[in-house]
Amino acid sequence: MSAKRLLLASNNAKKLTELRALLVPLGVELLAQGDLAIAEAAEPFDTFLENALAKARHAAHASGLPTLADDSGLCVDALGGEPGVRSSRFARDARQGEGDADNNRWLLQRLHGQAQREAAFVCVLVALRHAADPEPLVATGRWPLSVLDAAQGGGGFGYDPIVRPRGASAGSVATLTEAEKNAHSHRALAMRQLVAQLHERWHW
């Protein structure tokens, strides 16, 4: 492959910014599928891997470009892995509102009185050379966390205000700088694996 261009199978602006920053060392131009008027793919599966692969194939087929897809979310041990792949719609599916604030409120409500607070942000990245690529690149990152009793900090997005990196004594993920988050996050861990595979397998 001569051109280092990847299409991101997402219209999430914050995710695009984060992944672009992580790809800078490789000299890869990351495009957004919305810029090409590609609609969001369905995400009907119960695992991050299946959803990421479905999104990547959909965008690669529509664009003809090498494509990167991310599926990620928060997995809480006391809830059997919920909200998992439904992290972005956790409150909506339970008819408890919609959006980050309602998701956070609903999760804290579900965990009220629960002593077990272990959780993890999980990210699966899939990269395809083309829609029919029989050998997708797959990378996984897992960031161990503890769920707080109340929100802290105004940065980040999603569940960042109500989770703390495991072992940290204070603050939440929402109190971290962008550089700190990009050094330790589930997405950063997965991207490091993916970059190594892009070097080795795609010769980028």
Q: Is the model's pLDDT at 3 over the cut of 80?
A: no
The per-residue pLDDT for 129 is 97
The answer to whether 35 is a known catalytic residue is no
Q: Stretch 64-86: mean pLDDT, rounded?
A: 97
The per-residue pLDDT for 78 is 98
The per-residue pLDDT for 13 is 85
**Using one digit for the tens of pLDDT, what is the confidence trace for 83-128?**
999 999 999 999 999 999 999 999 999 999 999 999 999 999 999 9
Q: Stretch 20-28: mean pLDDT, rounded?
A: 85
- Edge-to-edge strand ranges of the sheet holding 67-76: 29-32, 5-8, 67-76, 118-128, 137-147, 163-165
The per-residue pLDDT for 18 is 83
5-201: CATH topology = Maf protein (3.90.950)
Burial of 94 (0-12, 13-18, 19+ CB in 10 A): middle
Strands 29-32 and 67-76: unpaired
Q: Is the model's pLDDT at 1 over the cut of 60?
A: no
Q: Is the model's pLDDT at 43 over the cut of 60?
A: yes
List 71, 100, 102, 160, catalytic entry: 71
26 confidence band (pLDDT: 50, 70, 90): confident
**Using one digit for the tens of pLDDT, what is the confidence trace for 151-200?**
999 888 899 999 999 999 999 999 999 889 888 999 999 999 999 999 99
Are 55 and 69 in contact by the 8 Å Cβ rule? The answer is yes
Question: How many C-beta atoms surround the C-beta of residue 108 within 10 A?
Answer: 16
CA distances to 148, 153, 158, 160, 166 from 170, in Å: 10, 11, 19, 14, 10
The per-residue pLDDT for 2 is 44
**Using one digit for the tens of pLDDT, what is the confidence trace for 124-163?**
999 999 999 999 999 999 999 999 999 999 888 899 999 9
